Copies of this chain bind each other. A is one copy, B any other.
Amino acid sequence: MPRHHVERHFTGSLVVRDAVIGMADGLTVPFALAAGLTGAIDTTWIIVVAGLAEIAAGSIAMGLGGYLAARSDVEHYASERAREQREVREIPADEAAEVMEALQKYGLHPAEARPVVEALRKRPEAWVDFMMRFELGLERPDPARALWSALTIGGAYAVGGFIPLLPYMLLKHTLTALAVSSVVTLVALAVFGYVKGYFSGVRPARSAIQTVLIGGLAAGAAFLIARAIS
């Protein structure tokens, strides 16, 4: 079986993807919020309180959001599959015509496509699987993933959020804390972007520059807005 080149399409497990989703925002938003508040407030404890409140809010919102997204993938797949099963049973001629049409879009002549359709008609369950993949482009999601997805996203958000916030917890002067937080977080964003690029098939150096730019722009905008209105 020619599996040797299929593996190369693999681009990081679902756990890695969840961790990347959580950490991307966790590193960026609490960093930008703290930087923004430094433009308006000169007591670190308010920034720490706001940062921790943001980490709690963000990790819960993203974690639960991820949970619901994973649950709704499972339900969406189940309901689409039930629909295909019903259609294969009740309007098999329509479904057969759909397969014919789809295969002809790939240049197959009716005479070439018909044996496939006939073969699928004899095997309703395989036919349904074929429609799920070919017509709808859906893969069966793992029902047990929702909880892990939530914990991974939420946890990664919290871990990411503590990196920019720690300097404000340890240092007295807000501007010193901002400077240390910026250096530490931009380095963390660069490392994170590099690793993320590696897993997602983007050139790592370019991915690192992109995540640093996003973090820097978000923090700069937050800083300027907070300074302008205070």
Write the residues of chain A forming the contact surface with B, with a CB cutoff of 8 angstroms: 1-2, 5-6, 8-9, 11, 24-25, 28-29, 31-33, 36-37, 39-41, 45-46, 48-50, 52-54, 56-58, 60-62, 64-65, 68, 72, 75-76, 79-80, 83, 87, 91, 94-95, 97-98, 101, 103, 105-109, 112-113, 115-116, 118-120, 122-123, 126-127, 129-130, 133-139, 200-202, 210, 213-215, 217-219, 221-223, 225-226, 229-230
One complex includes copies of this chain to the number of: 2
Within 8 Å by CB of A83, from B8, B76, B202, lies B8
When distances are taken between beta carbons in the complex, the residues of chain B under 8 Å from A91 are 2, 5
Is A94 in contact with B5, judged by CB distance below 8 angstroms? yes
Some 16 contacts from A to B, beta carbons below 8 A apart, are A2-B97, A6-B98, A24-B65, A41-B46, A41-B49, A46-B46, A48-B229, A49-B226, A50-B50, A52-B229, A56-B221, A56-B222, A68-B210, A75-B201, A112-B119, A115-B116
Task: Report whether over half of chain A's contact residues are helix, strand or loop; otherwise say mixed.
Answer: helix
Q: Nearest Cβ in chain B — how far from A224, in angstroms?
A: 8
Q: Nearest Cβ in chain B — how far from A34, in angstroms?
A: 9
State the 3 A-B residue pairs at the shortest beta-carbon distance, nearest first.
A36-B53, A32-B57, A2-B94
When distances are taken between beta carbons in the complex, the residues of chain B under 8 Å from A115 are 112, 115-116
